[in-house]
Amino acid sequence: MAKTGKTPYLEPMTVLTVHLATPRGFCAGVDRAIQIVERALELYGAPVYVRHEIVHNKHVVDRLKAMGAVFVKELDQCPPDRPVVFSAHGVPKSVPAEAQSRQMFYLDATCPLVSKVHVEAERHFIEGSEILLIGHAGHPEVIGTMGQLPDGAVTLIETVADAQNYVARDPENVAFVTQTTLSVDDTADIVAALRARFPSIKLPHKEDICYATTNRQDAVKAVAADCGLMLIIGSAKSSNSQRLVEVALKAGTPAAYLVDDASHVDWTWFEGVTSVGVSAGASAPENLISDLIAAISARYETEVIESSGVRETVTFKLPRVLTDA
């Protein structure tokens, strides 16, 4: 097999099976957040300011920039007379408080399932419980959740070791919540460690890891063992996308990579591979998946098999100020 650069030239009869995981790509929370920015631009004109990336995907952010969205790190970079949107990951309470003090018009695009975690954490705080948050340090969702309560009210638990080493002031009055985009299996191990140490620990009324994260991980598990290679489309900043790579490897695929889009694929990964799995994180647009399939098909004779996973029908309403206008 001769090669030019990184693109392999294959024998005419070489067939590559592509297992397309279902569901994949956009979830309802991401779709809602993007629509909020689009609708704000339509109603109020450009520029509309967005605090942090609305979702963790460069292609989404660049498209919204082209429409007139301006992405900033903090509110002091926004003029007080233009709309500002808070990202889908959620924000500390100090952010809307600052916006109100400056009399800014703001739209909160926090995913409703993240808001549910915020409400749970506040309920535990009111009840006087010690609150543990299972999540990843520095992630915007974790910053937002911890920022719902006074400093020191929430302790971050990242690993099983953290759970085993945590010393409670009152072992009978501990509660936990979780980041919504974690590995289901890894989180189960941490929860098991916490329950072993604190049998009366208060659990979420309903699983905090969101339906979309769970469904996408299950879909990857369903195809990974049949694939010599797994490609996940998503940003390195995206927690749920990173977890899909980890899930694929644990489920038995020998190699798995996270790529922003088809242009980031190293075609040497395909050498000796007869089947490849494809999925995408919850903030990756469907067109990136189609482009990847097209790029594979341009180099291989392909058979695309779409898995029969969960068909998602969840939708979240836009803020009323946008729908009533």
Catalytic machinery residues: 141
Contacts 24+ apart (CB under 8 A), 60-65: 60/34, 60/283, 60/285, 64/34, 64/37, 64/38
3-state secondary structure of 137: coil
3-state secondary structure of 72: strand
Measure Cα distances from 210 to 111, 129, 184, 307 in Å: 10, 23, 10, 21
Q: Please give the biggest Cα pair distance in the chain.
A: 68
Pairing of strands 3-4, 7-8: antiparallel
**What span, in angstroms and rounded, lies between the C-alpha atoms of 201 and 230?**
38
Helix, strand, coil fractions of the chain, as percent rounded to 5: 40, 20, 40
